[in-house]
Structure 1
Amino acid sequence: MESTPRTSLRALLAGVLVTAMVAAPTPASAQPLAHPQDDYAGSQIAKHEGTGGGPLLDVRANDDVLGLDVASYQGTVDWAAVARNGGKFAYSKATEGITYTNPSFGQQYNGSYAAGLTHGAYHFALPDVSDGATQANFFVDHGGAWSRDGRTLPPALDIEYNPYGDTCYKLTPEQMTAWVKAFSDQIWYRTGVPPTIYTSYTWWTKCTGNSTVVSRNPLWIPRYGTDVGTLPGGWTTQAIWQFADKGTFPGDQNRFNGNGDRLRSFTLG
């Protein structure tokens, strides 16, 4: 039987729709990330700013507690060994953008806690794939929650050089500042505590204009050497200093700005 004009038109429209669906590009925010396993706190800092090359901090200098940060790059961590070697706290990467979750996060986050460490989660920001609140929600929903148990660090935002392109993610300083504030506000709303901000002085100055918009949040500063250097964005002190990208513990080496009692106070918000 020959198709009626109406039937032919319907078939033609259906074919056009299918063709359009096939040809439509996948939104950037939904595309798989090329190398999230290589993106971790400080990966781009070391690449763009170096690792110092000089003498490292004397970790025995005072009673500040020592810790580490890890990501899928470290895989399964021997947390009992970390504890024996003096590790007291650990941040583990939970998420990146709005599509990636660390496959080793459960072992790292729960394992560090079971070994007696204070644990926390961080998010690797990609401000060019979604707004700040959306990434904050993705983070909280996939490991970035917080509990007032005295052994959980505030959720942390890792915001640094873009591992996939433009240093500042093609955002102006005003846009980047608004993005960070939106992320921070949503984390605060969802968890009850402001997130720790991981960033370097150089990146923060270049990409936010050295904004002070989140200067009330705790600062986690990467600087490899014997001192923290100049702090960005109105901060007068750091909560955590990432002082080396290798050392006694797996992953990066960190020093909390205080002793064990002060660390516990920090976890209580």
Structure 2
Amino acid sequence: MSRTARFPRTAHTARLARAAATLAAALLATAVAVPAHADTAGRGFQPSHPELDHAGSTIVAHEGRGPAGPLQPMVAQTPGLDVSSYQGSVDWSTAAADGAGFAYVKATEGTDYTNPSFAQQYDGSYDAGLIRGAYHFALPNASSGATQADYFVSNGGGWSADGMTLPPALDIEYNPYGDSCYDLSQSAMVSWIRDFSNTVESLTGRYPTIYTTTDWWTTCTGNYGGFGATNPLWIARYSSSPGTLPNGWSYQTFWQYADSGTFPGDQDYFNGAYSRLQALAD
């Protein structure tokens, strides 16, 4: 091939290189415009296995189980349970016959997930005579507390003064997808929880019950004590007693004491007689 025959191919290659460089610059500009850690809709972190996330799903891996033995205290405790999509369709009549007085049901997670078994679990527990409530699995790194509270209340997390509905609940525990505290500082975590709590109260008239563990609360909020006056505590500890409680609470309202037992799902106690449970619902 002659030297003159190669010149047109060289010029063509140069034009292609310039076009590729222009395209690469355009793509880079577009990428810079998208926030870090966001999907194409501009949202924050999205969970990959929300069907596996439920109240207590991270507890054993981080805290294990305490010594077995008679549960303390044993006076005026009302047994109950909590469930999520992991349990699927629940036999509520059997749970009631076995002594369950209440149930908490997972409704939502983040701002995209709703429990596909929610209607059967939430309405079914009510039909069986259990006092029931809904809870939200928090993802503080996905969106604001107010945004998740609004999504929760709009998808099952409401409250009605029918004597059969517990306050909505916030499940705030170890991050199942990474850093235990969701890469938030202690002050930022407190602000997120306050944002969620105040929004739920403004939408429903009830401050949410807070589900957590003492270890997580101490680590991720600095053992903040400002919620005890307004928010019931649902403590998780798989042992023979609730143990030391987070700052601000002198007693627990609910105690998740085991992840298996008589009832489907997790095993819980309301810290009082059934009449006091009714009073909380009212």
The verdict on a shared fold, with TM-score over 0.5 as the criterion, is yes
Matched, 1:63 2:115: no
Asked if 1 retains the 8 angstrom alpha-carbon contact of 2:76 and 2:271, the reply is: no
Q: What SS is found at the alignment partner of 1:213? A: coil
Map of 2:118 onto structure 1: 105
> Which runs of structure 2 are paired with 1:1-12 in the superposition (5 Å)?
none
Work out whether residues 65 and 258 of structure 1, in 8 Å CA contact, stay in contact via their aligned partners in 2.
yes
Partner of 1:237: 251
2-structure distance, mates of 1:48, 1:135: 25
* 1: CA distance, partners of 2:247 / 2:138: 18
1:54: Cα distance to partner? 2.4
Larger Rg over CA atoms: 2
For 1:6, the equivalent position in structure 2 comes to none
1:90 to 79, 103, 114: 103
Other-structure match for 2:14: none
- Tell me the equivalent position of 1:165: 178
2:47 to 29, 33, 40: 33
Shift of 1:233: 2.3
Offset at residue 52 of structure 1 (A): 2.1
Runs of 4 or more, structure 1, over 3 Å off, are 27-32
- 1:256 and 2:270 matched: yes
> Residues 182 and 234 (structure 1 numbering): CA distance in 2 closer, same or farther, change over 3 Å?
same
Which of the residues 25, 49, 60 maps onto 2:63? 49
User: How far off is 1:45 after superposition?
Assistant: 1.3
Residue 44 of structure 1 and its aligned partner are, at CA, apart by 0.8
- Per-residue deviation at 1:202? 0.2
* 1:225 and 2:222 matched: no
For 1:164 and 1:114, how far apart are their aligned partners in 2?
A: 36
C-alpha contact 2:46 2:142 (8 A) present in aligned 1 = no
Aligned counterparts of 2:67 and 2:43: Cα–Cα separation in 1: 37
Q: CA deviation at 1:91?
A: 0.2
Give the counterpart letter for 1:43 in structure 2.
S
| d(CA) in 1 for partners of 2:93, 2:152 | 27
Partner-residue secondary structure (3-state), 1:136: helix
Q: 1:27 to 1:51 in 2, by over 3 A?
A: farther
Q: In structure 2, the residue corresponding to 1:43 is in which secondary structure?
A: coil
**Greater displacement, 226-235 / 44-53:** 44-53
TM-score normalised by the chain length of structure 2: 0.84
Aligned match of 1:174 in 187, 204, 216? 187
Amino acid at match of 1:123: H
- SS at 1:261's partner residue? helix
Tell me the amino acid that sits aligned with residue 84 of structure 1: A
Instruction: Give runs of aligned pairs for residues 192-211 of structure 1, distance below 5 A.
Output: 192-211=205-224
Map of 1:9 onto structure 2? none
C-alpha distance after superposition, 1:3-49 (max 9, x if no partner): xxxxxxxxx99xx69x959x965257366521111110011112210
Q: Indicate the residue corresponding to 1:185 in structure 2.
A: 198
Classify the secondary structure of the residue corresponding to 2:75: coil
CA RMSD of aligned residues (A): 2.1
CA positional deviation for 1:62: 3.0
2:42, 2:104 → 1: CA distance? 28
Percent of aligned positions that are identical: 56
Asked if the contact 1:223/1:244 (under 8 Å) is kept, the reply is yes
Q: Is the deviation greater in 23-32 or in 259-268?
A: 23-32
Structure 1: runs of 5 or more not aligned: 1-11
Distance 1:195 1:26 in 2: 32
2-structure distance, mates of 1:29, 1:67:
36
Q: 2: distance between equivalents of 1:95 and 1:209? A: 26
Q: Evaluate the alpha carbon distance shift between residue 237 and residue 103 of structure 1 in structure 2; reply closer, same or farther with a 3 A threshold.
A: same
SS where residue 91 of structure 1 aligns? Answer: strand
2: CA distance, partners of 1:31 / 1:104: 24
Aligned length: 252
Aligned residue identity for 2:263 = F
TM, length-normalised to structure 1: 0.88
